Structure 1
C-alpha cells in the first residue's frame, strides 16, 4: 500500500521545531527557563508561545494514528511490548545520561560557575521534573499506549467496539456534531483540571508527572486513533476547509494570549481552548503536509530518521549554547539564530554517531539490533476487529 509520507515528515518537522521553540524560551518575557537571558524578546516570546498551541497536539494526533494502525496489525501484546521498549529505553537513557548536563547548565545560570556545584548535586540527588524536561511526552505516550492496549484486549467483553462506533458515528455526522465534540473535549479538560486541583493530584512525584497535562493531551491521541480506525475520517480531516482554518487561527491566537496568565479564569480558558485549538490547527497542518509534502526524498528520509535523536539531545545543546550567549552582548535575534543553528548541527552530529552503533541506537532510539527506526508503513484500513 502507498505510504503516507506526509505523516512521517510532519512528525519529524514538529520534533525539529522543538529546537527554535526551546531556544526562544531563553528570551521569554513570561517565564524563567532552565537558562535565561536578562534580554527578553517580545517577538520570540509570542511567536513560540503561538507554536506551543499546535506543535505537540499535532504530534500526539500522528502518534495516536500510528498506534491504532499498528495495534490492529500486530495485536495488543506484541505492539505494547515494542512500544515500551521504543519509548521507555530512550526515556531512561536520556534522563540518566543527558539531562544531568542540562541541570548543570541551569545551576550555572542560576548561581554562576563558582557556586553551581552544590546546586547541581542537590538537583542530582532529588526527584523532580528536571529529570524529565523535554521527555514528558514519552511518559504520556506510554500511558496512552497502555490504555489503548487494554481497550483493544478487553473491548469485546465490555462492548467498547459498539459504543465507539456509535460515538464516532455521532461525531462524524455533520459539522455541528464535530463542533459539539470539540466543546465537550474542552469542557472535559476543564472538569478534569478542577477535580485534580480539588484532590491535589495535578502535580505528582515532585513534578515528574503532571496529570492535567496528560489529560489535556489525551484527546489528540484519541483523535489520531480514530483517524486510523475510520479511514474516511483521515480523508475528511486532511481536506482543506477554509472556515476551519479561520477558526484554528482565532483559537490559537486566543490561547496564546491567555495561556501565560495565572489567574483562575485564564487557566480555565486555557484548559478549555487547548483541545479546540490543537485539533483545529492539526487539521491545518495535516492538510498542508498532505498537499505539499507527500513525497519522499533523500533529504526528507534523513530528517525522519534523525528526528528522534535530534529531539532527545537538542535541549542539552540549547542550554549550553544559550548559557554561553549570556556572557556576550549580541542582538537577541542574532543570538537566537546562532543557538538554533549550533544546536541543530550538534544534534545531527550526535545522530551520526548514534546511527553507527547498535548499542547507541538501542539506548536512544529503542531499536533492537536488526530493527527499523522509521515509522510503520501506512495502510488505508485496519486489519483486526472493531
Structure 2
C-alpha cells in the first residue's frame, strides 16, 4: 500500500497544525502589508518599512501555497472516502455558508472602515464619507471579495476535483498515484515538461497583466494556487511523495528562502520570468516541507492546545481582517515607528480574533454561519458503563469532511 489510505482511521495532527498555522499567519501578513512599500493595501500607512515589506513578501511566498497544498491533500482524502457527489455537497455547504455570511456581515463593515481610513489619512474629505461608503457598497468589486477570495477559489478547485473524480469513475486516487510513479521513472522528461509549462505560464501571465494590470494580476493570483492544490492531492495519493514532503531539514529551508527571494527579483525577459516561476514553486515547496517536517516531529500526536488552535483558526482568519482594518485606521492617528505599530496590531488582532472565536463557538447558530458546522448536543452525564451513541459534540474544522 503506497498511498495514505492506511491512515484513514487516524487523525493527521501534524497536517491539522500546519493548516491552522498558515491561516493564523494571515494576521502578521496583513498587519505588515499596512506598511509595505510595494502594496497600497485597503488600509495603508504613510509610514513605510523596508523590513516589514520584506517580511510580508516572504510570508506571502509560502503561506497560501502551504494552505492550498494541505487543502488539496484533505480534499483528496475525503473525496476518496465519500465519493464525488456526497463530498461536493458537503464542501459547498461548509465553505459556501461561511462565505455567504462573511460577505453579508463582515465585508460591508470592512468597506466602511476602509473609507474612514481614507478620510483619517487625508486622502478624501470627511464630508464625503457617506457618499463614498454608499458608492462602494453598491458597486461590486475587489473590496467585496477581500480576504474571502480563498473561499471562492477553494470552492472552484473542489468543483474541479469532484468533476475529475466523476470522470475517472472513482479511480482518481489510483491514477494520481500512477502519475507520480511515472514521473519518478521519467525524471528528465518530467522536468523538461515542467519547465515548458512554467515558460508557457510566464508568457500567458505577461499577456494577461499587460492587457489589464489590475484585474490581470488578480486573475493570475487567484488561479496560481491550483498548482499547490493539485500537488496536495498527489501527496495524499502517493506514500512516497508524502514521505518526501516530510523530509526537508534546515538546509532545505535555507534553500527555499533563497529561491523565493530570487523569485522576487524583477525580470527582463521570458527566460528570467520562467526561472522566477520555477524558483517560486520549488522555494515554496521546500519551506512548506520544512514546516511539515517540524509539525510531524513536534505535533504528530494529539495536543489539547494545538486542538484549540485548529478549531479556532478558521474563525480567526475570517475576523482578523476587519480587526486589523480598525486597528490600522486607529494607528493612522499616532506617530510611532512602523515596526512598533505592526507588533501592537499583530498581537492585539490575534487576541481579539481569538476572543471572537470563543464568542462564536458558544452559539450553535454563529458556528453554523461562520464555520459551516452543525454543533450536536453535549452528551448528558451518564455512568462510564452506559454508552449513549450519537450524542457527541461535533466540532470539525470547516476544511474537513
The answer to whether TM tops 0.5 is yes
- State the partner residue of 1:96: 104
Contact 2:72 2:228 in 1 (8 A): yes
Choose from 186, 195, 210 the match for 1:183: 195
2:260 is the counterpart of 1:252: yes
- State the partner residue of 1:172: 184
Choose from 24, 35, 41 the match for 2:32: 24
2:83 is the counterpart of 1:71: no
Q: CA deviation at 1:233?
A: 1.5
Stretches of structure 2 that go unaligned for 5 or more consecutive residues are 1-8, 121-125, 377-393
- State the partner residue of 2:63: 55
Contact 2:36 2:52 in 1 (8 A): yes
Alpha carbons of structure 1 residues 190 and 244: separation in structure 2 relative to 1, 3 Å? same
Q: CA deviation at 1:201?
A: 11
2:319 is the counterpart of 1:313: yes
- Output the CA distance in 1 between the equivalents of 2:204 and 2:108: 33
Where do 1:1-386 residues align within 5 Å? 1-112=9-120, 113-156=126-169, 164-173=176-185, 180=192, 183-184=195-196, 186-194=198-206, 196=208, 203=215, 210-240=218-248, 244-258=252-266, 271-370=277-376, 371-374=394-397
Q: CA deviation at 1:199?
A: 7.9
SS in 1 for 2:224: helix
Contact 2:153 2:223 in 1 (8 A): no
RMSD of equivalent CA atoms:
3.0
Normalising by structure 2, we get a TM-score of 0.83
Q: CA deviation at 1:245?
A: 3.7
Of 103-112 and 179-188, more deviation after overlay is shown by 179-188
Give deviations 1:251-294, integer Å, cap 9, x for gaps. 11112344xx8998887665454433322322222122212232
SS in 1 for 2:397: coil
- Output the CA distance in 2 between the equivalents of 1:39 and 1:195: 34
Alpha carbons of structure 1 residues 325 and 191: separation in structure 2 relative to 1, 3 Å? same
SS in 2 for 1:54: helix
Aligned residues: 371
Give deviations 1:92-120, integer Å, cap 9, x for gaps. 21111011121112112223444322111
SS in 2 for 1:330: coil
- Output the CA distance in 2 between the equivalents of 1:257 and 1:331: 27
Q: CA deviation at 1:69?
A: 0.3
Contact 1:186 1:275 in 2 (8 A): no
- State the partner residue of 2:379: none
Alpha carbons of structure 1 residues 262 and 297: separation in structure 2 relative to 1, 3 Å? farther
Q: Which has the higher contact order (CA 8 A, sep 6+)?
A: 1
- State the structure with more CA Rg: 2
Q: CA deviation at 1:153?
A: 0.8
Alpha carbons of structure 1 residues 246 and 3: separation in structure 2 relative to 1, 3 Å? same
Alpha carbons of structure 1 residues 232 and 9: separation in structure 2 relative to 1, 3 Å? same
